[in-house]
Amino acid sequence: MDLNFNKNEDYNKLLVSDLRKRFVKVKLGGGKKRIDKHHEKGKMTARERIDYLLDPKAKSIEIGAFAGENMYAEHGGCPSGGVVIKIGYIKGKQCVVVANDATVKAGAWFPITGKKNLRAQEIAIENKLPIIYLVDSAGVYLPMQDEIFPDKEHFGRIFRNNAIMSSMGITQISAVMGSCVAGGAYLPIMSDEAIIVDKTASIFLAGSYLVKAAIGESIDNETLGGATTHCEISGVIDYKAKDDKDALNKIKFIVDKIGDYEKAGFSKTESFPPKEKEDDIFGILPKERNAQYDMLEIIKRLVDNSEFEQYKEGYGKTILTGYARIDGWAVGIVANQRKLVKTNTGEMQFGGVIYNDSADKSARFIANCNQKKIPLIFLQDVTGFMVGSKSEHAGIIKDGAKMVNAVSNSVVPKFTIIIGNSYGAGNYAMCGKAYDPRLIVAWPSAELAVMSGNSAAKVLLQIETASLKKRGEKITPEKEAELFDKIKSRYDAQVSPYYAAARIWTDAVINPLDTRTWISMGIEAADHAPIQKKFNMGVLQV
């Protein structure tokens, strides 16, 4: 181990430590006082409900834990988007679980809450996974109703998706465990089966105050829409539960009876850990964003037995392509090589840059994986496509388009891990969020942006100084340095992996050592959904 390795290791482990601290804070939701009040009502918190529902000691992954981070400060914040979502196992069956966090504004829906709920439904639809809703919500957050209520990807889309999933045969089970009002009342009733907790839960289109104001009727909420009303009079709800645990036990009982699923048939064998020490990832991954390193060494610490069979190893060397297994699942890996490489003609190519030959190789490899029904893993550390006259004359736009076309039309499930840089069109070609990865996660070392902070700050500085000079201001070197630092600081905040996670551009920021679990559970989920389409690249200027 050299000094540089040790410096990298210290730096990356500090990033993971920061990740853990952030997660501890997020898990508190609306804060300890609100959690205590929740318990005083005899209710479990959203996370306690999910933990009780999921099989003990079984693996699970959380979607969107940092959703809403540092957003809506003027409204008091919205930790985790006011909803907790996990993919885990109930009676051995893989499920998506969605639980409103009533400690955050009584579980009200902010714009990011809607986006996060839709992401959960998208995962269930793509993978044909059963989805469980634990409802405890005051409905739309009225001060921001214009940003959550009327548009295509807003609140109403949830109920549209309920109907679509029902037609697809995807199991949906709801438990009303607190407030469930107005439009939100449709979600549990559009599920296949619904449970309500006696005395602490209610469901109605309008509460007692609104009923009084609208039609003059005086009635209490329990009589209006409590468990007894909906289980014995209206017939709206299927099961009455005496408390939270009873409701969750009923869900377990129902899920346990679900039949087996038709499988996509991805190759699965016995799982083996990597032979290379996984923890070495922290020392291999450089602290400096522009430093060179060998991505092959990262791959060896992610795949079973550290075995990686390269495809076209000597061609298009700035992207590594090849076959491996992760937790027993066969995968095709497309990874940006981050070290300076030499071509057969003696030309040097910069690591992390996509050249004509690497784009061409990747497109061919993606087509091969589609033909063989092998899920694709994209490991991103990319600064973009190569620029300049040589690349343009060689048709870099055409070769890049071929790669983007292959990624876009791929029918096997795709999974994206953002390890380092994810800049510009490189993000697109390496299966960024716009290209429908089944799951997309970032390591704490990741950055997502049109370009790096330094490059962007230099461009923005030129624009800013030109504008100031036009107004007659004199720009001294000191003033220029001050402007640069201010611009870069603002831009750097936007390229943070947590900024991306807050807006659900990624599903999570994860410890690199959890990568194998995310990929394995993701492929297992995808195996629930047989591939219906054929791979077709369409029209190409080859």
Q: At 178, which amino acid appears?
A: G
pLDDT at 526: 98
Tokens at 306, concatenated: 């550290």
Question: Virtual CA dihedral for 39, 44, 47, 52, nearest 10 degrees?
Answer: 140
Q: Which long-range contacts (CB under 8 A, 24 or more apart) does 34-39 make?
A: 34/103, 34/104, 35/103, 38/102, 38/103
**Residues whose CB falls within 8 Å of the CB of residue 184, separated by 6 or more in sequence, listed in order:** 109, 135, 137, 139, 140
Q: Does residue 48 contact residue 65 with C-beta atoms inside 8 Å?
A: no
pLDDT at 477: 80
Q: Does residue 67 contact residue 112 with C-beta atoms inside 8 Å?
A: yes
pLDDT at 1: 58
Cα angle value 18/19/23 (rounded, 5°): 115
pLDDT at 467: 80
> Measuring CA to CA, which residue among 390, 257, 267, 249 is closest to residue 331?
267
DSSP 241-252: ESSHHHHHHHHH
Question: Virtual CA dihedral for 121, 123, 126, 131, nearest 10 degrees?
Answer: -60
Cα angle value 274/435/153 (rounded, 5°): 120
| pTM of the entire predicted model | 0.94
pLDDT at 299: 98
Helices (H), 201-329: 208-215, 221-225, 227-228, 244-255, 281-284, 295-299
> Measuring CA to CA, which residue among 245, 239, 218 is closest to residue 227?
239
- DSSP state for residue 513 in the 8-state scheme: G
Tokens at 416, concatenated: 């994206």
pLDDT tens digits, the chain, 542 residues: what are they?
589 999 999 999 999 999 999 999 999 999 999 999 999 999 999 999 999 999 999 999 999 999 999 999 999 999 999 999 999 999 999 999 999 999 999 898 999 999 999 999 999 999 999 999 999 998 888 888 888 888 888 888 999 999 999 999 999 999 999 988 877 788 888 999 999 999 999 998 888 888 888 999 899 888 888 999 999 999 999 999 999 999 999 999 999 999 999 999 999 999 999 999 999 999 999 999 889 999 999 999 999 999 999 999 999 999 999 999 999 999 999 999 999 988 888 888 888 999 999 999 999 999 999 999 999 999 999 998 988 888 888 888 888 999 999 999 999 999 999 999 999 899 999 999 999 999 999 999 999 987 766 777 777 778 878 787 788 877 788 777 877 888 777 778 889 999 999 999 999 999 999 999 999 999 999 999 999 999 988 766 55
User: What pairs with residue 179 in β-bridges?
Assistant: 202
**Residues whose CB falls within 8 Å of the CB of residue 96, separated by 6 or more in sequence, listed in order:** 85, 86, 87, 120, 123, 124, 129, 130, 131, 132
**Residues whose CB falls within 8 Å of the CB of residue 89, separated by 6 or more in sequence, listed in order:** 54, 55, 58, 59, 60, 95
pLDDT at 208: 83
Tokens at 8, concatenated: 């990298």
Q: Does residue 238 contact residue 194 with C-beta atoms inside 8 Å?
A: yes
pLDDT at 289: 85
Q: Does residue 236 contact residue 230 with C-beta atoms inside 8 Å?
A: yes
pLDDT in tens, 316-339: 999 999 999 999 999 999 999 999
Quote the CA–CA distance of 111 and 480 in Å, as a whole number. 38
pLDDT at 540: 64
pLDDT at 282: 98
Quote the CA–CA distance of 183 and 103 in Å, as a whole number. 21
pLDDT at 138: 84
Task: Please report, for residues 36, 134, 211, 220, 224, the alpha-carbon distance to residue 235 in angstroms, rounded to integers and kept in the order given.
Answer: 33, 20, 21, 19, 13
Q: At 485, which amino acid appears?
A: D
> Measuring CA to CA, which residue among 128, 84, 28 is closest to residue 525?
128
Q: Does residue 184 contact residue 204 with C-beta atoms inside 8 Å?
A: no
Q: Does residue 382 contact residue 320 with C-beta atoms inside 8 Å?
A: no
Tokens at 297, concatenated: 């060494």
- DSSP state for residue 539 in the 8-state scheme: S
pLDDT in tens, 164-175: 999 999 999 999
